[in-house]
Amino acid sequence: MLQYVKLFLCLIFLSCKAYAIPLEDSGDAPNLFGLEGLSENNAIGANFIEGDIAVPLQTGRAAYIRSPKWPNGIVPFDIHSLYTNDQKSVIRGAMSEIMKSTNNCIRFVERNSSTPVWLRIFPGQGCWSYMGRVKSRGAQDLSLQATGCVHHSVALHELTHALGFVHEQTRPDRNQYVLIQTENIQSGKEHNFNIFPSTSVSTLNLPYDYGSIMHYRSDAFSSNGRPTIKAIIDTGKDWDSTMGRGKNLSNLDIAKLKAYYSCS
C-alpha cells in the first residue's frame, strides 16, 4: 500500500512540475535570436514552427493570413509578477513602441476581471508566442524567459507574432531575395526555413524587408557559424551582418501592422 501512495505522490509532483513556472532558467538551446543561456522552447499543448511560433496541437501548421486579429486592435494583457520592475518596463516599452508606431490603432490594455481573452506574458521556458488571437476564452501565453529573453527587440518580435505575423523570410517570394544555405543549417532544424505558399500567406502588397524585426539572423540555427541566410539583392547595404539584429520596428514592419489591422 505504501508503495502505491509513494507512486501517487510522485505522479502529482511530476504533474505539478510540468506546469510550474521556473524560478531559475538555465540551458543553452539553439535559438533564432543568437542568445545564450536559453532553455529549449516548451509549451503545454502546442508544437512549434519556425523556432518560436507555438501552434495548438489540434490545428497543425497555420499561416498568418488566417491568424485571427485582436478585435479592434485591442490586446488585453497581463504581465506575470515574477518579472522584476525593470523587466516589466522592457516589456511595456515594446508595447509602447507598437502603439505609438500605429498611432494607437493597435493598443495593449491591462486586462480586467471581465476580459474574455488576454495575452499572458510570463517567464516560461524560452522565447515564444502563438500567432494571432488563438484562444476563445482565458489566457493566451507568450513566454519571455526571465534570464535571456527580456530584451526590447525580442519582446517586439514575440508581440508581433501575437498580433498575427510569421517571420519575414517565410514569405512565398523569399527566394527572390535570400538564399538559404542548407549546408550550414543544424541537422534537424531545416524545417525552420520552410516558406508558406501564396495561397496561405499574404505579403500585404508590401516589399520584402531585410531589416524587419521579424527576419531571422543570417546565422540562425547555424551548425558551423557560417551564414544560413544570404541576401541576394544588392541594396547598397550589408544586410548579411545586420538582418535579424534590429532593435526596433522597421518602417515596413509598421506599414504591415497598419495594413493588417486596417489602420488609417
Give the single-character DSSP code of 216: P
Q: Measured between alpha carbons, how far is 79 from 221 in angstroms, rounded to an integer?
A: 29
Residue 158 among the catalytic residues: yes
Three-state DSSP state, 78: strand
**Annotated catalytic residue within 158, 168, 183, 190:** 158
**CA 161 remoteness from chain centre:** 5
How is residue 258 annotated by DSSP? H
Residues near 180 by Cβ (< 8 Å), separated by ≥ 6? 193, 228, 229
Which run of H or of E encompasses 127? Answer: strand 127-130
152 annotated as belonging to a binding site for a ligand: no
**Residue 215 marked as a ligand binder:** no
Hunting for cell 513556472 — which residue is that?
21
- Binding residue numbers for Zn(2+): 157, 161, 167
Q: Which residues are part of the catalytic machinery?
A: 158
